[in-house]
Amino acid sequence: MSDFLSKFSGDKYDKLLADDQKNKEKKVSQSDDLTASPSKKIPSREELPKEAEYTEPANQLKTDSTSEEELSSDSVEVISSQDLANSEDSSKGREQTRSRRDDFHEEVEIDPSYQKKKKRRIILSIGAGVLAVIILFFTYYQMTHVTLPNFVGKPVSEVREWGNQNKVEINLTQEYSIKYDANVIISQKTKAGKKIAKGSPLSLVSSLGADPEEVLELPKFEDMSYSQAMKWVEENKAENLKVTQEFNDTIAKGKFIKLDIANSVPASEYTRGNKATLTYSRGKEVLEANITVPDFKDKPKSEVETWAKSNSIEVTYIEKASANLAAGLVMGQSVAANEKVAKKSKMDITISAGKGVTVPDFSQISMSQASSVSGLNVIVRQVYGDKAYGQLLSQSQAAGVELTEKDDLNVEVVYSAGTPYIRDLTGKNEGELQEYFYQEFRSKGAEIYFTSYYVNSDQPKGTVVKQSAKETWLPLNYTVEMGISNGAWYTGTPIPAPSPDKDSSETDDYDN
C-alpha cells in the first residue's frame, strides 16, 4: 500500500503524468496505422477523428507503456490483404473493447488538495480508532461499576435490595442513635456518587434506635401542656412513656393529672426501657341525653346488664320477693320506659327474688312456739338477764323483713332465762361441777364460776361436802366455794353427809 502511494508523491507524480500523456499519443497512432489501407500512409494524430481519442486510467499506464514498446516506432511494415482483413477484424474487436472500457472508466482529473485530503483521512481513521477504544473501555467500565447512592436515612431493607441487584456485598455495623430510628442507615464510608466495582464490599452503619439504658432527665410535666409533653416524648425517643388523656371534672383540659412509672422506679432514675404512663385532662365530659330507656318489666336481668354495659349506664339492682314473678325477672325500674338518658346515668332496677317469708315479731310469740314458725329455721336460746323469764331479748332478723330463697333463712331468737339460781350440790361428784356451772350459768350469759378445796371427811373421796351458796339467787357475776372430801375418814360404808358444824379441819383450797 505504501509503495503504491509513493508513486503519487512529489516529482514522481509529475513524471507519471508526462509519461501518461506520451503513452496516450502512441496508443492513438498505432491504432490508426492498423486501420489504414496497405497502400496508404498511416495518418497522423491530427488527422484522426476526435472519436478515436481516448484516455486510460492512471493505474493502467504501466501496462499500456509496456505494450507500446513492442511496436517499432521507426518504420511501418506493409500489410498484406489477408493481414489487413485480419487487422480490420482486430480493429473492430479493439473498438468494441475500447467502448467497453469507456463504459467502466472515467477520465482522470488531477485534485490539487489530494494530499490534504489524504492526511485528513488518515487523521480521521486514527481518531476513529482511538474513539472506538475509548468507547469500548467506557462501556466495559460502566458494565463492571455502579454509582453509589446516598443511603443515609434509608432503611436497611432498601440497601440490601440495592446490593443484591448490583452484586455489592453490604457490611453493616450497628450503633445507638437518637437521630435515626432503628434499622435506618446512619452513615456510609464511601461517599455518595462515587463509582464502585461490582462485587466489592460496602461498609455502612445502621441505627439500633435510641439507647434504652440511657437515663432521661424528666421535665416538670405539671408545667407542660399535653402537646408539649407529646413533643418532648417524640424528641427524646421515649417510646415506653405513653401519654394519655381522660375526662376530669375538676382539672382543665390539657393540664397534667399524674405520672405513673412502673415498678415504682424513681423519676430521677427513669430510662427509656422503663414503662410509664403520663395522664392529661380532657376536661369535663359533656354528655347528651340521647339514650332511650327500654321497658324492662318482666324481662330477665341479663338483658338489663347487656343494655347497661353497651350504653355505660350505672344500674343498681334491688332484689325483692315476689309471689307472682319468678326469680331473676324485672319487677320495676326507677327510670320510666322511653325516657332519654345520657351516658354514665344512674338508675335502679328491682329484680324478683321469688317467693319470700316475712320474719315475725318474736316478742309476740312464746319461747315454746318460736321454733315452729313456718318457712324459717328458728334457733331459740335462753340467756340470763335483767328482764323477766320468757321475755324476748333479741332476734337476728328484724320483724317484718322479707326473706327469699337466696337469703339465709336461719333466725336466732334469744329469750330471757330470768335470774340465776343455784341448787344444793352436796353429794355430787367433783367431776360433775364443771358441766353443771357451764350449762346452768355460763352458756346462758351468767359469769358464775366455782372454786374447790379439800377437807377431811368420812365421805368418799371427791364428794361435795360443803357449798358456800346453795338454794339461792345469784348475781350475774359470782364465784361459789365448794368443799370436796379427801376420803381421810372414809371406812367404805356410805355415811350421810355431816352437818357443817361437825366438819373437822380444812386441808387444801383449789380453784377450778
Query: CA-CA distance, 236 to 402, in Å (whole number)?
Result: 65
Straight-line distance from the first to the last Cα atom of the chain, in angstroms, rounded to the nearest whole number: 154
Q: Which of 480, 435, 487, 481 shows the shortest CA–CA distance to 458?
A: 487
Q: Which of 278, 296, 127 shows the shortest CA–CA distance to 216?
A: 278
Residue 7: burial class (beta carbons within 10 Å; 0-12, 13-18, 19+): middle
Q: At what angle do helices 81-104 and 10-35 cross, to 10 degrees?
A: 140
Query: CA-CA distance, 179 to 149, in Å (whole number)?
Result: 21
Q: Which of 214, 154, 210 shows the shortest CA–CA distance to 177?
A: 210
Residue 419 C-alpha cell reads as 335470774
Residue 194 C-alpha cell reads as 462515587
Residue range 148-207, CATH number: 3.30.10.20
- Give the list of residues 6+ apart from residue 330 with CB closer than 8 angstroms, or none: 296, 297, 298, 299, 300, 301, 304, 349, 350, 351, 352
| CB < 8 Å & 24+ apart, contacts of 10-16 | 16/58, 16/61
Q: Which of 95, 87, 85, 19 shows the shortest CA–CA distance to 54?
A: 95
Residue 104 C-alpha cell reads as 467502466
Tell which CATH classification among 3.40.1280, 2.30.29, 3.30.10, 3.30.450 matches the domain 357-416. Answer: 3.30.10
Tell me which fold the domain 291-354 belongs to: Trypsin Inhibitor V; Chain A (3.30.10)
> DSSP state, 216?
P
How far lies 25's CA from each of 32, 47, 64, 284, in Å? 11, 13, 11, 128
Query: CA-CA distance, 326 to 300, in Å (whole number)?
Result: 10
> Which pLDDT score is estimated for 287?
83
Query: CA-CA distance, 422 to 437, in Å (whole number)?
Result: 9
Residue range 221-283, CATH number: 3.30.10.20
> Which pLDDT score is estimated for 26?
64
Q: Are 48 and 32 in contact (CB under 8 A)?
A: yes
pTM: 0.38
> Which pLDDT score is estimated for 91?
54
The letter for the amino acid at 389 is Y
> Which pLDDT score is estimated for 74?
41
- The DSSP secondary structure of 380-418, one letter per residue, reads EEEE--SSPTT-EEEESS-TTPEEETTS--EEEEEEE--
Average pLDDT per block of 10 residues along the chain, 512 residues long: 52 64 62 46 46 42 42 39 50 53 56 78 84 76 78 90 87 90 89 83 90 92 93 93 93 93 92 94 88 93 94 92 86 93 92 86 89 88 90 90 83 92 94 94 94 94 94 94 92 62 41 40
| Other CB atoms within 10 A of residue 321 CB | 20
> Which pLDDT score is estimated for 75?
38
Residue 242: beta bridge partners? 277
Q: Looking at domain 421-511, which CATH architecture does it have?
A: 2-Layer Sandwich (3.30)
Query: CA-CA distance, 467 to 482, in Å (whole number)?
Result: 5
- Give the list of residues 6+ apart from residue 412 with CB closer than 8 angstroms, or none: 378, 379, 381, 395, 396
> Which pLDDT score is estimated for 36?
46
Query: CA-CA distance, 318 to 312, in Å (whole number)?
Result: 19
